[in-house]
Amino acid sequence: MTTEPRKPPPQFIFRLKRALGGKSGWTGLAVQIVFAAVLAWVAYEIVANARANLETQRIASGFGFLKNTAGFDVSLNLVPYSGSDTYTRVFLVGLLNTLLVAVIGIIFATIIGFIIALCRLSPNWLLARIGEIYVELVRNLPLLFQLLFWYLAVLAALPGPRQSISLFNTAFLSNRGLVIPRPIGEAGLDPFLIAIAIGIVGALALRSYARRALFQRGQAIRIWPTVLGLLFGLPLATMLIFGLPLTFEMPQLKGFNFAGGARVIPELVALLVALSTYTAAFIAEIVRAGILSVHKGQMEAGSSLGLSRGATLRLIVVPQAMRVIVPPLTNQYLNLTKNSSLAVAIGYPDLVSVFAGTTLSQTGQAIEIIAITMGVYLLISLVTSAVMSVYGWRINRSLGAGA
């Protein structure tokens, strides 16, 4: 009497319909054809108009201009550059400057952001309110406003180099920027770096060994003294053997300006301050939300199992909070990177400023240059979101077992 299960019929036409038109079937296909025709028409219009316009403006399209000599100077270059280099080199210099500001900005923004988040979560009422005011104030003012404020008002109001504000007599802040000691590598540098690398690798290996020992043999090993020794003792030892890894060239006031030391141009200072304080406000909110998102019961459950407060935080609260924090945090890092393009407003030589700004106005190759610039940012975004979706997929998988 019972009917045995069997395989579904192939339904070729149905599947074809689905593939071509989605759930709407043949209607969907028709919609797509019309849509494709419209897109094709728009594309044709763009190409035809661009061609005609370029012809009347006598601009030769193509990427040949990249090999031409730039002929202008850039105030900050991480790779050797002079005015006689090509536009390709300009692109590279600009890209590296963008990455420089992004990386340093991300580090500062994270530090400030976590501090503000802790302030806001603090049981101290006054501190919590201060954190709140900071977040509200910074989030409700445009970033460009803050950038110009730091650059045009604060940095410009600083005294000249002769009256520089001295920070512990090592760094000097003036309206010409920030002068910091310049590190110079010595003979001991290579062994020192190797020692640090060995220390890190060794500490990680030790940690996984201790984990395995705990999980498989139930043997708790105290590793932190050894880890401390590896991370600090080993580099110290190499310093004693091979000598100092670095010496610092101290900046000295000579005449009207500083001699020696490394000068951080004021544009970079303003950009870094603006980007990191602005992004920090958003990071603080993300971190706060992440920590608050972990249910109070989780902490109670941890302590009721007899875990110490530290162990509960480390093993239960932080991993759960990180799941909530990491994706929007990455988003903020991306935002910071994209926002670093505001550099063009104060003349910090980032990608947009030297490439989409100066190079564009010199060559007039708008289409190529803007496409390259957008492409760079797009690439950074897409790679990051690809990494994040892998992360999200792993998290979902680990949570999916329960759900």
Partner 1 sequence: MSTDPIVNISTLNKWYGDFHVLRDINLEVGRGERIVICGPSGSGKSTLIRCINALEEFQEGEIVVDGIELGPNLRRVDEVRREVGMVFQSFNLFPHLTVLDNCTLAPIWVRNIPKKDAEATAMKFLERVKIPHQANKFPGQMSGGQQQRVAIARALTMNPKVMLFDEPTSALDPEMVKEVLDTMVDLAREGMTMLVVTHEMGFAREVANRVVFMDAGQIIESNTPQEFFANPQHARTKLFLSQILR
Partner 2 sequence: MTDVTASSFVRQDLVPERPAPVKTTGFIGFVRTRLLNSPTNILLTIVALLLLWYTIIPALKFLLVDAVWSGKDRNACLAENTGHQVGACWPYIQAKLTQLIYGFYPEAERWRVNLTFILAVVLLAPLLIPRLPAKGLNASLFFFAFPVVAFFLLRGGGLTGFGVSWVASLSQLFGDSIVNAGQVLVNLSQNSAIGPVLWGIGKLIVLIGSAVGWLIFPLTWLRDQLQMSGQPLWYDFLLTAVIVSLILFFLGGGMRTGQRALLASLVTFAGIAVVIKLMGLDRGGLAVVDTRLWGGLLVTLVVSVTGIVTSMPIGIALALGRRSTIPLIRVFSIAFIEFWRGVPLITVLFFATYMLPLFLPGNFNVDGLVRALIGIALFAGAYQAEVVRGGLAAIPRGQGEAASALGLSWWKTTSLIVMPQALRHVIPGLVNSFIALFKDTSLVSIVALFDLLGSLHATFSDPTWSTPTTAFTGFAFAGMIYFVFCFGMSRYSLFVENRLNAHRRN
Is 309 a binder of partner 2 (CB under 8 A)?
Answer: no
* Residue selected from 5, 123, 225, 310 as contacting partner 2 according to rule CB under 8 A: 123
Query: Based on the number of CB atoms within 10 Å of its own CB, is 106 exposed (0-12), middle (13-18) or buried (19 or more)?
Result: buried
Give just the sign of the alpha carbon dihedral 342, 346, 352, 357.
Answer: positive
Is 12 a binder of partner 1 (CB under 8 A)?
Answer: no
Which of 7-15, 62-70, 163-171, 341-349 is the region at the interface with partner 1 (rule: CB under 8 A)? Answer: 7-15
For 21, the token pair is 């038109």
Is 23 a binder of partner 2 (CB under 8 A)?
Answer: yes
Which of 35-43, 193-201, 261-269, 299-307 is the region at the interface with partner 2 (rule: CB under 8 A)? Answer: 35-43
* Residue selected from 50, 201, 244, 386 as contacting partner 2 according to rule CB under 8 A: 50
The footprint of partner 1 on residues 17-46 (CB under 8 A) is 25
Residue 60 binding: pick among partner 2, partner 1, none (C-beta 5-8 Å cut-off by kind): none
For partner 1, the closer CB: 4 or 67: 4
Which of 49-57, 79-87, 225-233, 239-247 is the region at the interface with partner 2 (rule: CB under 8 A)? Answer: 49-57
Is 1 a binder of partner 1 (CB under 8 A)?
Answer: yes
Give the x/- contact pattern for partner 2 in 378-397, rule: CB under 8 A: x-xxx--x------------
- Residue 24 Cβ, how far from partner 1 at the closest point, in Å? 11
Cite the beta strand spans of 153-245 per DSSP E: 165-167, 171-174, 177-180, 182-185
**Which letter, b or e, does each residue of 147-170 get, where b requires 16 or more Cβ atoms within 10 Å of its Cβ?**
bbebbeeebeebeebeebeeeeee
Give dist(CA 19, CA 253) in Å, integer. 73
Number of residues binding to partner 2, judged by CB under 8 A: 65
Geometric angle at alpha carbon 30, from 29 and 31, rounded to 5°: 90
* Residue 110, C-beta contacts closer than 8 angstroms, at least 6 positions apart: 280, 283
For partner 2, the closer CB: 101 or 227: 101
Q: What are phi and psi of 392, to 5 degrees?
A: -60, -40
Give dist(CA 92, CA 75) in Å, integer. 14
Is 52 a binder of partner 2 (CB under 8 A)?
Answer: yes
89 sits in the region (left: phi over 0; alpha: psi -120 to 50; else beta) called alpha
Give dist(CA 265, CA 151) in Å, integer. 11
Assign 396 to helix, strand or coil: helix
CA distances from 334 to 37, 275, 340, 384 (A): 35, 12, 10, 8
- Residue 11 Cβ, how far from partner 1 at the closest point, in Å? 6
Give dist(CA 105, CA 123) in Å, integer. 29
For partner 2, the closer CB: 252 or 396: 396
Give the x/- contact pattern for partner 2 in 328-367, rule: CB under 8 A: ----------xx-xx-xx------x---x---x-----xx
Residue 204 binding: pick among partner 2, partner 1, none (C-beta 5-8 Å cut-off by kind): none
The footprint of partner 2 on residues 262-291 (CB under 8 A) is none
What is the DSSP track for 104-164? Answer: HHHHHHHHHHHHHHHHHH-S-HHHHHHHHHHHHHHHTS-HHHHHHIIIIIIIHHS--GGGP
Residue 3 binding: pick among partner 2, partner 1, none (C-beta 5-8 Å cut-off by kind): partner 1
Q: What does the binding site for partner 1 look like in residue numbers (CB under 8 A)?
A: 1-3, 5-9, 11, 14, 25
Q: What does the binding site for partner 2 look like in residue numbers (CB under 8 A)?
A: 19-24, 28, 31-32, 35-36, 39, 41, 44-46, 48-50, 52-54, 56, 122-127, 130, 136-137, 139-145, 148-149, 152-153, 156-157, 338-339, 341-342, 344-345, 352, 356, 360, 366-367, 370, 373-374, 377-378, 380-382, 385
